[in-house]
Structure 1
Amino acid sequence: MMEQYLLYILMSLIPFSSTSSDSTQISEEPLVKVTHSVLSNSTDQLNCRAYGHSPKNISMAWYQNKEAVRNNQSAETLQLPDLTYLTSLKLNITTHHDEVYNCHVNHSSLKSTLVVKWGHTEESTEPIGAILTICLAAVVIFVITIIVSVLITKLRKKK
């Protein structure tokens, strides 16, 4: 709800021309992204977003471990300032680290179904661990440099 409101405000700030009859002839492929957010200790939300597609009609569905998920939430579509569309399909899940979810997208501009995967994998946590390690090492080196600089300054003042 908040996401839609913010997008509405953003769209109202960007000027664009009114829809012409020619805009219905444009065919644009969607760019699809799956994002993840934590709702509670045991519930997560996956959001599949298809950006920039035209025409408006699009089909989106969630699959869990290669089986269609019965999802009671419908896809929400908003028109963007460039006269393409953004469609979002959310799925609330109970967190299990061995499950894989796929968002399947069908659109008239696509030759075949577009499938975007999301799943808990060790690979997805490696970059975060590497970044944290590098940051920690940088802080330690910085602190050691400050301590050595202070000690050298004090030794020079004693002489």
Structure 2
Amino acid sequence: MESWLIPAAPVTVVEEIKKSRFITMLAHTDGVEAAKAFVESVRAEHPDARHHCVAWVAGAPDDSQQLGFSDDGEPAGTAGKPMLAQLMGSGVGEITAVVVRYYGGICWHRWVSESVWRRRESGAAPANDPTQDAINRIYFAM
């Protein structure tokens, strides 16, 4: 029987940069339908947000049938795909990430680059995408 880490509790990380607000939400979702339901619940909670970028690994971390992502209007490949790469690289399964963006002056790709830069400046370990910050805050269960 195969086993993998799953989130034990939901995580929310809020970050503001140049008047734009980014809310990263991660949750345990055991299947594609649960992932889609979580995404819809976040959309309902933040209906006025400019974007709801999404990635999920809804089953085993290596099950390509349980993967999904959406850039939700951001330039193709700049939001959901890097988020999915972070989730897949974490080895965590049954997880969905949604990043909600309220626009105030900075776009997604600038947020990612500035967030990574701030980590380097503060001496924190650099990551490829701020989704990793949220992943690092999850309590895991097996």
If the length of structure 1 is used for normalisation, what is the TM-score?
Answer: 0.25
If the length of structure 2 is used for normalisation, what is the TM-score?
Answer: 0.26
Return the structure number with greater relative CO, CA threshold 8 A, min gap 6: 2
In our comparison, the structure showing a higher alpha carbon Rg is 1
Structure with bigger strand share is 1
